[in-house]
């Protein structure tokens, strides 16, 4: 699709507790809050925006990744997040290394999985 004047891309993540999620995305991950309204917040996400929408206490995250970052050095990026309290997710039978990093069979791609406080699956990837 070719938009006549493409705007800024926006990714969406849904949360149950606004303050807890803002603390995670801004304080723990180091992203910057751009603006807020009655329904959620816009967070700077590189060349895009992340729209964090509050769904209320009944919100349940899906089991698949909803947001990720492609980084140049996955091991270093994962170490930084570990120092900030992030715990990476291990999936049984996936063959991740001791740091929780999965390497594709062709060794070109590496992925590490973690979750926000609502259980939304987030990823770091390289390759």
pLDDT in tens, 64-103: 999 999 999 999 999 999 999 999 999 999 999 999 999 9
Helix (H) or strand (E) holding 76: helix 74-83
| In the chain, where the domains are located | 9-58, 61-127
Dist CA 11 CA 77 (whole Å): 21
80, containing H or E segment: helix 74-83
Matching fold, domains 9-58 and 61-127: yes
Please, what's the b/e burial string for 72-95 (b: 16 or more CB within 10 A of its CB; e: otherwise)? Answer: eebeebbeebeeeebebeeeeeee
Q: Is residue 11 within 8 Å of 51, Cβ to Cβ?
A: yes
On the question of pLDDT at 3 being above 70, the answer is no
Fold of 61-127: 2,3-Dihydroxybiphenyl 1,2-Dioxygenase; domain 1 (3.10.180)
The pLDDT of residue 32 is above 90:
yes
The predicted model scores a pTM of 0.89
CA–CA separation, 46 and 48 (whole Å): 5
| Spatial distance between the Cα atoms of 110 and 126, rounded to a whole number of angstroms | 5
CATH fold label, 9-58? 2,3-Dihydroxybiphenyl 1,2-Dioxygenase; domain 1 (3.10.180)
């Amino acid at each position: 699709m070719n938009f006549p004047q493409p705007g800024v891309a926006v990714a969406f993540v849904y949360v149950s507790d606004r303050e807890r999620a803002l603390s995670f995305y801004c304080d723990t991950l180091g992203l910057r809050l751009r603006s807020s309204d009655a329904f959620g917040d816009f967070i700077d996400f590189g060349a895009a925006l992340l729209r964090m929408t509050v769904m209320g206490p009944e919100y349940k995250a899906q089991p698949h990744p909803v947001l990720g970052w492609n980084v140049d050095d996955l091991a270093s990026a994962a170490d930084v997040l570990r120092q900030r309290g992030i715990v990476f997710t291990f999936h049984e039978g996936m063959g991740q290394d001791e740091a929780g990093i999965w390497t594709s069979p062709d060794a070109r791609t590496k992925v590490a999985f973690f979750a926000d406080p609502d259980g939304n699956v987030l990823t770091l990837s390289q390759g």
